[in-house]
Amino acid sequence: MASKEIDPKYRVDPKKATKEELEEAFALLSKKRERIAKIKSGELKGYTGLPYSALSEEQKAKLRKANQRRLVRQSLIIAKATAAGIVVSDKEVDAAIAAKKGK
């Protein structure tokens, strides 16, 4: 697997890394290997792990259709909520953004 070049100012010296940092690095590597194995075995379905450019025209069409349905569904939900008088304040939006950042 080809690795991307890392900017030298961000490169980690393994001799200077703490035990916790090394454990975290190995945990991330384990997750990556597990995901690759699941994709190869077919456990993860769909087009997981493939860049969009690597998909066939049929796969791209299927993804475009699914995306279009998702967008229409969202716009219908918004239209129904607006018709029902449901509004969202800027404070609620900010709180939801903060909650997502905290995850």
pTM: 0.48
What gap in Å lies between CA 31 and CA 21, rounded to an integer?
Answer: 15
> Which string of DSSP letters, residue by residue, matches 72-94?
HHHHHHHHHHHHTT----HHHHH
| pLDDT, tens only, 62-73 | 999 999 999 999
pLDDT tens digits, one per residue of 12-34: 888 888 899 999 999 999 998 99
User: Average of pLDDT values for 65-91?
Assistant: 95
Higher pLDDT, 39 or 58: 58
Give dist(CA 23, CA 31) in Å, integer.
12
The pLDDT value recorded for residue 12 is: 82
- CA-to-CA distance for 97 and 6, rounded, in angstroms? 30
34 three-state secondary structure: helix
Whether 50 and 35 have beta carbons less than 8 Å apart is answered as no
In eight-state DSSP terms, residue 70 is H
